[in-house]
Structure 1
């Protein structure tokens, strides 16, 4: 089993901390804090494998600058004990390579941005093996704003992550485990992680104690402490328990092989006998649900007549979302490559034109008139210079932002989609079909949920009416 680690921390002024200092250390950069009036310099820090900022759609573009982003976060908080940032610290399964780690980080960060509409700044740290760190200890610090980020700037606090009853932290712990397992599966690894505690898993393993930076530093120096000694003993006991579990798994596997053999023999006997084998009701139900779903997607029946099971629909919705996400990524990569080719071609043309203008300007300089036509010559030379200056500015702008602007352009997206259909007809058709299926299933899931919520409210109202105290009628006094 791969190692699972997901912790939630806060950066609070009450603890003497700042968001600018926190991100400077995690990104290994030099950040000037406007609120504190001092510079946090961690530019000599090594081991930062990757760093990237993720913002909600429509967020101010200047916040893609790390220093500007976290200074604005600090300035938005006015209280002296404010919590200025929140951090998810995650560990990557050692079975994944760098490319797979980046894909996993991007998926998690984009999901955080979509769910909470906050700014996210993520940094992957590689292990310092030269100082005694475990060579598998690739981890990431995901720092996020505590306020929502809109096109107008930072607004409301995201209180749901501070409230235990909201279940948000548990949601992200479980979601991160799902992401780990999905990427392990895509990488062809059989290893899996579990976000639950050893106690909840009921696997007989013991949890280790948190060592902290001081104990970790002493451990690297070869100095034992009570905590490190206790943790080593726990790890040895856990290893023994896992080995015992493996032996038990082997026995179970052997029994399962024998059981499958017996079932095969039984099926052969049933096949050659007059008796009808027992019906698997669950399999029949699922098959019927699948057939009904196909009819719904083809438009042969209405959502009301389908009467599909919510769990079944949600399971299929998740499968479609996952596949659609991969198809969307392939389409986005195609668009990116096409935009780069178009911009490259345009830059080549403008470069040739610039060189032509330079040649004309030089040739004109060699043929300067001595007396007559001097004014016309100066005007022509100035016109060439101005044309070169304007074209040079356009060339630099296109070089810097050409691809981004193209990707935002509706006409380019239409053109890119037509090209995608020509070059990848099968994938384009799959994408369209998946998109249609997703809309139908999503709509149906929402309708089922809304109907269930309405029934629940009606039941609650009915119960409330039944338990309401009845008013006693008063008779007339004599």
Structure 2
């Protein structure tokens, strides 16, 4: 069963905290705080699986340096009780692997940066199983600036994340749940998470009490507290409730199977019984329509032979469209992720090439000839510069439009469909069959409408001819 966790915290000076100390601990690095004039050293910390800084487009590139980024954040705040950073703490479903966790984190962080135009520094922590931590406890700390970041630097505060009535926090809780469920689905897992509280879900489960670092540390050492004992009791009751729910689901499923069997037997009895009252005209009509539609979809008869009713066909078309939309969304999400992965790989290659050109350019600068070969040196240096400029333009274009261009490219669509069939064969087959059914029903609806319109025009023409006054024939004058 996938566990959902998404908490929101702040780093405030009023609580004696600093952004530099917070990020040093979360990243497991040594960070010097210019405001405090001291160093926060957590370089011996273990368990940091991944860390990355995400900045808005056009942000100063020197802020990709963790120490410079959070020192600028601190320097921008002048009040002694300022909130200098916000934090989203998230837990990853245990059903996902390292690569899938990373994909989830990047998707979430990119959407935060895009929506609020702030700096984001994210770190994934692996569980400390040696100290008693749950081996499934892979989680991430997402530290965010409280101010927007532009090419000119940090500007105004993002107040929407402070206001309860804005609905932003609820938006991110729900969005993260959607990301979890999409990646669980793509991983082939049937587990799902729900961002709503147990109370809102009305599932009979109880929420546990917040334990905090002190209670957690005592729990790891095997020391019970009132809070940990209460939480253990709540977990036991929740487990019993979940087991009861599973038993009820099983019982309902068994009853549905029995009911289906009884209905089948009843139908056979109705069909073979001479005393059974005949079906009504409407029931007979619906039965024939369903049979003919089934034969049409199997290719056993043509649309003309099926002679299907328009209202019946449109009703079935709407049903198929609804299911097809959901499957189309799953396929689109897969294509989006595949395109992002391809563009990310391309950007890495071009970034490495750009760095190589910069190194070549710098090396040439250090070996400038004093007399002979100066023109050849300048030409070589200029060629490297021009190559760097062209590659950088392509790199920036890829960064901005790469995913969009791929999604619109027919060759990519064909490649993505092949990959989708490999990774989700059952869903791909279901999608193809459903799409064929949709096209068959749609063609049927279009033909019926066309026939009705033609018939209506013919009737209108005939009516117009009948209503037109007849001209009296005149004899020839002598």
Contact 2:357/2:384 (8 A) holds in 1: no
SS at match of 1:238: helix
| Equivalent residue number for residue 148 of structure 1 | 148
| Equivalent residue number for residue 372 of structure 2 | 380
The 5 A counterparts of 1:314-393 are 323-324=331-332, 326-335=334-343, 379-380=371-372, 390=381
Task: Confirm whether residue 47 of structure 1 aligns to residue 55 of structure 2.
Answer: no
Deviation at 1:256, TM superposition (A): 2.1
Q: TM-score, normalised by structure 2?
A: 0.68
Contact 2:338/2:416 (8 A) holds in 1: no
Deviation at 1:17, TM superposition (A): 0.6
Q: CA RMSD in A?
A: 4.4
Query: Residues 68 and 350 (structure 1 numbering): CA distance in 2 closer, same or farther, change over 3 Å?
Result: closer
Query: Residues 84 and 381 (structure 1 numbering): CA distance in 2 closer, same or farther, change over 3 Å?
Result: same
SS at match of 1:24: helix
Counterpart CA distance in 1 for 2:149 and 2:315 is: 43
Task: Confirm whether residue 128 of structure 1 aligns to residue 136 of structure 2.
Answer: no
Query: Residues 80 and 241 (structure 1 numbering): CA distance in 2 closer, same or farther, change over 3 Å?
Result: same
Deviation at 1:262, TM superposition (A): 4.4
SS at match of 1:380: coil
Q: Which stretch shifts more, 97-106 or 319-328?
A: 319-328
SS at match of 1:32: strand
Deviation at 1:403, TM superposition (A): 6.2
| Equivalent residue number for residue 216 of structure 2 | 216
Deviation at 1:331, TM superposition (A): 3.6
| Structure 1: segments with no counterpart, 5+ residues | 294-311, 362-376, 431-478
Q: TM-score, normalised by structure 1?
A: 0.68
Query: Residues 52 and 418 (structure 1 numbering): CA distance in 2 closer, same or farther, change over 3 Å?
Result: closer
Could you list the per-position Cα deviations for residues 336-377 of structure 1 after superposition, in whole angstroms to 9, with x for gaps in the alignment?
55677789999999999xxxx9xxx9xxxxxxxxxxxxxxx9
Query: Residues 113 and 283 (structure 1 numbering): CA distance in 2 closer, same or farther, change over 3 Å?
Result: farther
Task: Confirm whether residue 406 of structure 1 aligns to residue 414 of structure 2.
Answer: no
Contact 2:407/2:413 (8 A) holds in 1: no
Equivalences, count? 384
Counterpart CA distance in 1 for 2:85 and 2:171 is: 19
Counterpart CA distance in 1 for 2:232 and 2:15 is: 31
Counterpart CA distance in 2 for 1:172 and 1:211 is: 23
Counterpart CA distance in 2 for 1:350 and 1:146 is: 34
Deviation at 1:202, TM superposition (A): 2.0
Task: Confirm whether residue 204 of structure 1 aligns to residue 204 of structure 2.
Answer: yes
Q: 2:414 aligns with which of 426, 435, 443?
A: 426
Contact 1:350/1:391 (8 A) holds in 2: no
Task: Confirm whether residue 98 of structure 1 aligns to residue 102 of structure 2.
Answer: no
| Equivalent residue number for residue 61 of structure 1 | 61
Counterpart CA distance in 1 for 2:332 and 2:171 is: 22
Counterpart CA distance in 2 for 1:20 and 1:98 is: 27
Query: Residues 145 and 286 (structure 1 numbering): CA distance in 2 closer, same or farther, change over 3 Å?
Result: farther
Counterpart CA distance in 2 for 1:106 and 1:13 is: 29
| Equivalent residue number for residue 254 of structure 1 | 254
Contact 2:339/2:406 (8 A) holds in 1: no
SS at match of 1:146: strand
Contact 2:92/2:101 (8 A) holds in 1: yes
Query: Residues 320 and 126 (structure 1 numbering): CA distance in 2 closer, same or farther, change over 3 Å?
Result: same
| Equivalent residue number for residue 29 of structure 2 | 29
